[in-house]
A and B are shown apart, each in its own frame.
Chain A
Amino acid sequence: MANNLLEINDLTVTYGDFKIITEVSFAMKPGEIVCIAGESGCGKSTLIKAVLGIKQLGAHIKKGSIVLDGRDITHLGVEERRQILGTQIGYVPQNTRGSFNNIRSYDVQYQEAMRSHNKKFNRVEAIKCFDRLNFPDSDKLLAYQPWEMSGGMNQRMAIALAVLLGPKLMLCDEATSVLDVTSQKEVIEELAKLRNELGWSILFITHNLGVASHIADKLGVMYAGRMVEYGDIRKVLDDPIHPYTRKLLAAIPGKDRKLPVGLEGRPPLDGAEWEGCNFVPRCEYCTDSCKTRPYKLQEIVPGHYASCTSGRSV
């Protein structure tokens, strides 16, 4: 498939000597929203760090490759990397309070960001962009300083900045998880709108499957450093194959107002280092062979991959 925007092949990422992600592969087409979901410590944020590739973040790519629009960006130099960040890869972090300087106006900070990417800052264009995103008081927004804004508005300003820079690929790392539910919904709707109008591609990392189900086209479920299931969102949610995905879905409070069902224990910290399946200690279907059978993501149904099919109801 030549027309993939982002291809991640067999990616293994380490922090120091410690493996965080093993053998993750997936591909994204232009205009797609891909969600990677999983619980804390599953390596989903590390995945974003690997794509951003900033050395200071500590993530080190040991094996595999990351291909953006046909170009291998796995081992780019600092200067080349700087050129693609922002203009080709945009990034919305979890905590935008920390990524804007709290006591300088958005105006100054927008200018700075644009200038560092050799782009001209045009106030009229910025305000047009705010209008398109339905921001209230769009003509006054630039004069504000981040501390005067709510967390949700701040997050939306970060998205607007990313829009102005016009990247091909947006990376969102838990971009809505610190927000209140009402602002979360606004941000989600904005992102979906941007995809529809501008043909954005978004890689969205979240622990909230509810959020994923509202915007994603494809869904990947990660567990202890491995991708255990990947496929079209409807296929994964309607017919979850991996035992972990089913457990995860059962743990979410649903519309039926029935008490959610939990999952005892926690993921193994060194799960990415294991040879066999690392869900074994918490799995009700596991057999002895699971402990030794090497991890492999298989295409079970066309467009729907999983590393295990135990206990699947057909």
Chain B
Amino acid sequence: MVTCEAPLLEVRNIAKSYGKGKKGKEVLTDLNFKLNEGEVLGIIGESGCGKSVLLNLISCLEPVSQGQMLFRGEDYTGRKPAYVCRWFQVIFQDSEAAFDPKKTIRQSMRENLKLLAGDLADSDRKIDEMVGLMGLDTKLADRYPRQLSGGQVQRMSIARGLVTEPNMLLCDEITSALDVSAQAMIMQYLYQLRKKRGLTMVFVSHDLALCSTFCDRIAIMKEGKIVEIGTPDEIMDAPKHDYTKLLLDAVLYVK
């Protein structure tokens, strides 16, 4: 692992609003956080708190209204997704829809490699390696997305995100459409990836219990603001903000 002076990702005072003037609606207000290399940041919030928008902003899929985003100290605010895609890959909640239904998984992955890494000579070996790393049979890569189960497609989409060796994965509710057993499988493979490759991640979810098992730090979001940020122990054992307490109280553990 390389340690840098500047954090891998820094978000400074970013805000996002839709519409203009009086009709405008602010969905994110004044967000700040830093993310170091190899760290996993969990972002927790209920629906409509703006957590998915935040990922779209970081990955430049949508422009920010205000503020700055820095990658290793370099300000990349206002860039195109094509510029940042070497650093970040986004994994979406609806993984089946994240693959072109008319192409096999391998074809979609090849496209990633071709556009990002530029060489195709080695592509099949790289794809097989990543698919294997996610614990899937390499033959499954030659199928169409709808021919795989939800958990399998989600693992494929993580594999696709990783073939181009980005610095960071942005995960948007990647397990919420899945059954618990498939969710647990994904978490295990992600954990192994962290151990093997020191992968940095932003892990957006609504499941506080799940995040507390996996993340280094957890940020609690409410109505477009981060109300509390801390390690799982701090958040789970000594929550400061009322909203965090409310969320924590609503987690239904199996008794």
The reply, when asked whether chain A contacts chain B directly with Cβ atoms under 8 A, is yes
Q: A: which residues have CB within 8 A of B? A: 39-40, 180-182, 184-185, 188, 207-211, 213-214, 237, 247-255, 257-264, 266
Q: Report B42-86 CB contacts with A as 1/0, cut-off 8 Å.
A: 000011000000000000000000000000000000000000000
List chain A residues, Cβ under 8 A from B252.
181, 184-185, 188, 208, 210-211, 213-214
Contact status A259-B253, CB under 8 Å: no
B135 within 8 A of A: yes
List chain B residues, Cβ under 8 A from A254.
209, 253-254
B219 within 8 A of A: no
Given A39-B180, A209-B254, A237-B254, are A253 and B188 also a contact pair (CB < 8 Å)?
A: no
| Separation of A223 and B247 alpha carbons in the complex (Å) | 31
Contact status A180-B47, CB under 8 Å: yes
Given A188-B252, A211-B252, are A262 and B181 also a contact pair (CB < 8 Å)?
A: yes
Q: How many interface residues does B have (CB within 8 Å)? A: 37
List chain A residues, Cβ under 8 A from B251.
181, 210
Contact status B187-A262, CB under 8 Å: yes
B136's nearest neighbour on chain A, judged by CB, is A264
**A252 interface neighbour in B135, B246, B254, Cβ under 8 Å:** B254
Contact status A252-B180, CB under 8 Å: yes
Given A39-B179, A40-B179, A185-B249, are A259 and B213 also a contact pair (CB < 8 Å)?
A: yes
B151 within 8 A of A: yes
Q: Report B217-255 CB contacts with A as 1/0, cut-off 8 Å.
A: 000000000000000100010000000001101111111
- Give the distance to chain B from A261, nearest Cβ to Cβ, in Å: 6
Q: Is the interface of A mostly helix, strand, loop or mixed?
A: loop
B183 within 8 A of A: yes
Given A254-B209, A261-B188, are A180 and B46 also a contact pair (CB < 8 Å)?
A: yes
Contact status A185-B254, CB under 8 Å: no
**A207 interface neighbour in B179, B184, B185, B187, Cβ under 8 Å:** B179
Taking each of A249, A257, A260, which has the highest tally of chain B beta carbons within 10 Å of its own beta carbon? A260
B9 within 8 A of A: no
A39's nearest neighbour on chain B, judged by CB, is B179
**A181 interface neighbour in B181, B185, B187, B208, Cβ under 8 Å:** B208
Contact status A255-B46, CB under 8 Å: no
Contact status A182-B246, CB under 8 Å: yes
Given A180-B46, A262-B188, are A253 and B255 also a contact pair (CB < 8 Å)?
A: no
| Separation of A202 and B170 alpha carbons in the complex (Å) | 40
- Give the distance to chain A from B251, nearest Cβ to Cβ, in Å: 7
List chain A residues, Cβ under 8 A from B150.
40
| Separation of A249 and B254 alpha carbons in the complex (Å) | 8
| Separation of A180 and B182 alpha carbons in the complex (Å) | 21
Contact status B209-A264, CB under 8 Å: no
B191 within 8 A of A: yes
Contact status A253-B212, CB under 8 Å: yes
B210 within 8 A of A: yes
| Separation of A181 and B246 alpha carbons in the complex (Å) | 10
Given A259-B214, A262-B182, A262-B183, are A181 and B46 also a contact pair (CB < 8 Å)?
A: yes
Listed by A's residue number, 9 A-B pairs whose Cβ atoms lie within 8 Å are: A210-B254, A213-B252, A237-B254, A251-B180, A251-B184, A259-B191, A260-B184, A260-B188, A262-B184
| Separation of A248 and B185 alpha carbons in the complex (Å) | 12
B149 within 8 A of A: yes
List chain A residues, Cβ under 8 A from B210.
253, 260
Known: A253-B212, A254-B253, A259-B184. 7 other contacts (CB 8 A): A184-B250, A208-B252, A210-B252, A213-B252, A213-B253, A259-B213, A263-B181
Taking each of B150, B236, B250, which has the highest tally of chain A beta carbons within 10 Å of its own beta carbon? B250
- Give the distance to chain B from A64, nearest Cβ to Cβ, in Å: 27
Q: Report B182-214 CB contacts with A as 1/0, cut-off 8 Å.
A: 111111100100000000000000111110111
List chain A residues, Cβ under 8 A from B47.
180
Contact status A260-B255, CB under 8 Å: no
| Separation of A264 and B180 alpha carbons in the complex (Å) | 11
